[in-house]
Amino acid sequence: MSQSYKSLKEDFVSNLSGGDIFEINLVTAVAPAAVLLWSVLQSRHVVFVPYGVAAFAIDFLLNVGAILLAITLYSRAPAVLNILLLLPAFLLYILTPLATGARRSSKPPRLPNGPPTEDSRNDELLPFPVRPFVTTYRGAMMVVTCIAILAVDFKVFPRRFAKVENWGTSLMDMGVGSFVFSAGVVAAKPILKDRMAGKPPKLGRRLWISARHSLPLLLLGLIRLYSVKGLDYAEHITEYGVHWNFFFTLALLPPFVAVFQSLFSLVPSYELLSLLLGSVYQGLLELTRLKAYILTAPRKDLLSKNREGVFSFLGYLAIFLAGQAAGQYLLPRRPIGSSPSKTAKAQRFRILARLAAWSVIWSSLLFLTTAYKYGLGFRVSRRLANLPYVLWVAAFNCTQIAMFCTIETLIFPTVYKATHRTAEAREGQKATSRILQAYNRNGLAIFLLANLLTGLVNLTVDTLSVRKEAATAILFGYIVTLTGVALALDSWNISIKV
């Protein structure tokens, strides 16, 4: 890559100030709006069973195409796109009855009288139920992330959506934090299993297990580092530093989380642990010269060259802990400490209530830390991953999950009302987009492929000179390819654990 073109590419993604949080919320609301329309089509007309070419086309247009439009051609009118999705969803929901199959499947299977047989015991509900809304949330997040990492290199992608230089909010800033938060949600499962077993592993054992998870990510980080330097690829130094990249951040999370598990006996709340870590880090930024060092220090040694990645890790760790906190009540059938006598409906509405409560709490704390008149007057910074950024990511993701959970609760109540494992799995499959399920199943592998394809496109196409129509076509072909790979892996029952 010539130095002049490399400089143009780097300037194209540098010194940006972001956009408004309300606009980011409006753009990202397209994902739940599309899922609502998908859900109504499935519950009213069973459009996606069987899953043929037509079903795939509709699934793709709703859960991938709508997101692509929201951040490109409809970026100036996301409200219009939301209306175009919500209006037919409401009309179909009100005017058309449930499909016959949906009505019939809502009835639990009848069991024979007498003592439980081996078959009936094998069909008992598991401690960790099917959660289609979690799959949908994580799948939609992956779709947005994969589209954005290539789209940012084209002019069809608004600059206000690209990562902010120092202070402000943007769609891609939220994407990075959401990736970490969603990883924290599912990382709560092994912790819950240990607590349910009553024999949590010792710190040494936890560190050994976490190291096994970290090594592949560390290797990916090194591969990315050497490929970027070797190809003289354009890079945004102030994002993570000279050598650091996002894979290194992900690689360091497991061992540090293993250490924080030991603190759970002292601070029995992952939300509080997240807040304490974020607050201590914010105190260091404000009361010492750390903030000035991260933003302005000359890059002389290894630490100063990678200061953004090293110190922002504290903020991402706080985000991961906030995600684990959400996973504590999202993943188990009955959260630890809840009454076993509560019905499935009561348990579901308890989840919704906790999601709503924490959405309000995180949002209120964000307001108190950022408001100039009534609060502390701090500004959001993804580069620092400071406390306001942590609170913004936590508030946004809890709200997103709450929306997906509400859609599932209203449209597919048979999922959480199922009384047997096979019925729950069957209803959960009906309530989940095949595409979003595929993205969720092999999320990190698909993300890695997206990075490789992004590099390939940037090395072969002058992205700064491409017209909007051609850029949209390239992005469409790119996301079709990613979706095809994700679906192929899912259909072949392949799960790539990175």
- Mean pLDDT for the stretch of residues 73-95: 96
Whether omega before 50 lies within 30 degrees of 0, making that bond cis, reads yes
Q: What percent of the chain has pLDDT over 70?
A: 93
- Distance, in Å, from the CA atom of 8 to the CA atom of 26, rounded to the nearest integer, reads 31
pTM of the predicted model as reported, rounded to 2 decimal places: 0.93
Q: Is the pLDDT of residue 340 over 80?
A: no
CA distances from 227 to 243, 273, 481 (A): 11, 37, 22
Residues in the chain: 498
DSSP structural state of residue 77: -
Backbone φ and ψ for 19, nearest 5 degrees, come out as -145, -165
- Residue 380 CA to residue 269 CA, distance in Å, equals 25
Question: What angle, 0 to 180 degrees and rounded to 10, lies between the N-to-C axes of helices 387-411 and 344-370?
Answer: 150
The answer to whether residue 17 scores a pLDDT higher than 90 is yes
Helix runs in 46-77, H state only? 53-60, 66-70
Helices (H), 106-170: 118-122, 132-151
Amino acid at 419: T
Which tokens go with 481? 């390819």
Q: What is the distance between the alpha carbons of residues 353 and 356, in angstroms, rounded to a whole number?
A: 5
CB 32 within 8 A of CB 400: yes
| Element holding 127 (H helix, E strand) | none
Ranking 196-205, 253-262, 409-418 by mean pLDDT, the lowest is 196-205
Predicted confidence at residue 112, as pLDDT, reads 43
Task: Report the first-to-last Cα separation within the chain, whole angstroms.
Answer: 30
Which residue in the block uniquely carries the two structure tokens 């919500």?
Answer: 86
- pLDDT tier, 106 (very low <50, low <70, confident <90, very high otherwise): very low
The tens digit of pLDDT for each residue in 279-309 reads 999 999 999 999 999 999 999 999 999 999 9
List the structure tokens of 72.
């490109």
Q: What average pLDDT does range 349-370 have in this prediction?
A: 97
pLDDT, one tens digit per residue, over 221-266 is 999 999 999 888 888 899 999 999 999 999 999 999 988 888 877 7
State the Cα–Cα distance between residues 93 and 336, nearest whole angstrom. 36
The more confidently predicted of residues 82 and 338 is 82
DSSP three-state, residue 18: coil
Q: What are the tokens at 218? A: 């560390």
- Distance between CA atoms of 313 and 26, rounded to whole angstroms? 28
User: pLDDT at position 220, please?
Assistant: 93
Mean pLDDT of 331-343: 77
Cα–Cα distance between 409 and 35 in angstroms, integer?
A: 13
Q: Assign 3-class secondary structure to 396-441.
A: HHHHHHHHHHHHHHHHCHHHHHCCCHHHHHHHHHHCCCHHHHHHHH
pLDDT digits (tens, 9 = 90+) for 418-476: 888 999 999 999 999 999 999 999 999 999 999 999 999 999 999 999 999 999 999 99
Q: For residue 232, what is the DSSP state?
A: T
pLDDT of residue 341: 65
* Burial class of residue 62, CB neighbours in 10 A (0-12, 13-18, 19+): buried
Q: How far is CA 256 from CA 10, 180, 235, 494, in A?
A: 33, 14, 28, 29
**194, 200 Cβ separation under 8 angstroms:** yes
Average pLDDT score over the chain? 91
Say which range, 53-57, 364-368, 494-498, has the weakest mean pLDDT.
494-498
Which DSSP helix (H) or strand (E) runs through 460?
Answer: helix 443-460
In angstroms, the Cα distances linking 153 to 76, 94, 229, 234 are: 18, 42, 19, 11
Neighbour tally for 284: CB within 10 Å: 14
Specify the pLDDT at position 63: 98
For residue 169, the cross-strand partners are: 19
Q: Cα 143 to the chain's mean position, in Å?
A: 9
Residues 120-142 have pLDDT tens digits of 556 788 889 989 999 999 999 99
Number of C-beta neighbours around residue 349 at 10 A? 14
Handedness of CA 273, 278, 281, 286 (dihedral sign): negative
Least confident of 253-267, 355-369, 392-406, 433-447: 253-267
Q: What is the pLDDT of residue 458?
A: 93
pLDDT tens-digit readout, 3-13: 688 889 889 99
**pLDDT over threshold 70, residue 107:** no
pLDDT above 70: residue 144 = yes
Is 390:396 a contact under the CB 8 Å cutoff?
no
Residue 47 DSSP SS3: coil
Q: What CA–CA distance (Å, rounded) separates 159 from 162? A: 5
Reading the block at residue 459, the tokens are 């090395």
pLDDT value, residue 71: 97
